[in-house]
Structure 1
Amino acid sequence: MTSGASTAGRLRALVWPAATVLLACAGAAVVLAADPTSDAGFPLPPCPVKLLTGLDCPGCGTTRMVYSLLHGDVPAALHYNAAALLFLPFFLWTWGAWVLGRWRGQPVRTWEQWRWAPHVGLALIAVWSVIRNLPFPPFSALYV
């Protein structure tokens, strides 16, 4: 394989990662336009779990968290969904490893392949689901 073919193959391998960046930018633009923290923007669909049960699911507040991050308001982002905010570095690690693996032509291992990762992840989601719905302080401050 020539150098030009190798470079062309690598660039083709980055089409999907580039598409995810474009999709993320489009999503960020929608969140910015919608302003989920107030009634000023256009409405976004409600969380079906909260709509049906009245309880915050593990993902409730993530859109408002993203909106707050896009405005540089980290304390508000923590309030809306601390667990999702703390997960962001792991998500970015996984995405970066995926891009690097596509560039190199071989997978790059991440935290997802650690033997205990699924168990810890599920336990953290379960704990977060419970504590953010407890109706007494300091946990009631986590309710969005």
Structure 2
Amino acid sequence: MTSRPHGAATAIRLRAMVFPAATVLLACAGAAVVLAADPTSDAGFPLPPCPVKWLTGLDCPGCGSTRMIYSLLHGDVLAALHFNAAAVLFIPFFLWTWGAWVLGRWRGRSVRTWEQWRWSPLVGLVLIAVWSVIRNLPFPPFDALYV
């Protein structure tokens, strides 16, 4: 049985962290763009509109996500929930998935997450469909979800 020298194992692990580090850098760059743009007002530079809302006038499941991220970056959780409550509630699951991916790359083997649960795809699709419908209903209390 042969074993790798300690330096080689460290080099392999560090190489495996290149993509996770790149995702952090891209996320920071995206956050900087959102902060500079200020999507909650006309003060910053314009970001492209949601194509679904632009074409249909309806809020898609992701509508308001940029304003939600801007609000979270400023620590305004209530505003973030107003702009896209479903996306705010999804953040812990996204972080879980990202963390498991990073840990799996570090260990050299995959780490199971909620994505592998039997009903995850179906539950996810149902939640997205329900969110798409209720945020476009034109009567109280659902009209408060329209952004």
| Identical residues among aligned pairs (%) | 86
Deviations 1:99-138 (A, max 9, x none): 0000000000000000100000000000000000000000
Out of 83, 86, 98, which is 1:83 matched to?
86
Deviations 1:44-75 (A, max 9, x none): 00000000000000000000000000000000
1:122 paired to 2:94: no
Question: What residue number does 2:39 align with?
Answer: 36
1:14 paired to 2:17: yes
1:134 paired to 2:137: yes
Give the length in aligned residue pairs: 144
Gaps of 5+ in 2: none
Gaps of 5+ in 1: none
Out of 57, 64, 84, which is 1:61 matched to?
64
Provide the TM-score with structure 1 as the length reference: 1.00
1:102 paired to 2:105: yes
Provide the TM-score with structure 2 as the length reference: 0.98
Aligned residues: CA RMSD? 0.2
SS at structure 2 position matched to 1:137: coil
